[in-house]
Amino acid sequence: MSTVHEDLTGRARLRDAAIECFAAAGFGESLRTIAARAGVSAGLVRHHFGSKEALRTECDATVLERYRILKAESIETDPALLSARLPSSAEAGILLVYILRSVREGGAAGREFIEAMIAEALRFTRDAVTRGLVVPSRDEEARVRFLIYQSIGALVVRMAIHPETPLDDFTGIMEQFYADTILPTLELYTEGLFTDRNYLEQYLKYAAGTHNPPVGSAGNTASA
């Protein structure tokens, strides 16, 4: 095996260990603990990344990319098969907890995570609209931003009011997440909430009167 390949493998092991450590215990986790989880010496962390900040940056990018891949796979998977896979994704649990910690921590990293998630969700949603899987919105970006804020915000609140939750049990986290959210989410997305259009129609009339009406993707004010 070449030295280059060994370096790349060691770097990947450290990055993945850091992702799990940050998710399980927070971003204050020590480099020594991360190295121990990866099964290497602490000096290799600085050899591969130079600093903890650089390691965190690579972890953020990796988590975002893996999140993007999971989203793409979920859209392409038959609903029956997707439902059968739901309870067992430890990897998804790691990504979920990592993202929640980043957002709850605040600062530039949290904001960048949210904005990147919104950008990815917007791309997926526009594709889903084109394919006929999702109904179009008068303001696609606003709808996506609302949904991301709602879903992430709800999970941050749940973490805050259930501090006893073992965040290193990634499979358990996902099982509870699905148990709490899948039915109400699919019900709302599929069947809606209101029995008539009165609230929407009244708001559209109000918005039109303020000279700032919601605009559809084709550039026309949507009122039907």
pTM > 0.85: yes or no: no
Token pair listed for 59: 């972890």
Contact by Cβ (8 Å): 194, 184: no
Answer whether residue 30 is part of any domain.
no
- Decide if 33 is inside a domain: no
Write the CATH number for 110: 1.10.357.10
At 214, list the tokens.
């919601």
Residue 22 lies in a domain: no
Q: What is the pLDDT along the chain (224 residues), one digit of tens a residue?
A: 333 344 557 889 999 999 999 999 999 999 999 999 998 888 888 889 989 999 999 999 999 888 888 877 766 666 555 555 554 578 888 988 898 888 888 878 788 888 988 998 899 899 999 999 899 999 999 999 999 999 888 888 888 888 888 878 888 887 888 888 889 998 999 999 999 999 999 999 998 887 666 655 434 444 33
The domain of 164 spans 60-209
Of 86, 91, 100, nearest to 175 by C-alpha is 86
Decide if 128 is inside a domain. Answer: yes
Residue 46 falls inside a structural domain? no
- Token pair, residue 55, equals 């390691």
As a whole number of angstroms, the distance between CA 11 and CA 40 comes to: 10
105 in any annotated domain: yes
In a domain, 168, yes or no: yes
Q: C-alpha 21: how far from its chain's center?
A: 18
Q: Is residue 74 part of a domain?
A: yes
Longest pairwise C-alpha distance within the chain: 70
Angle at 93 between CA 151 and CA 62, to 5 degrees: 90
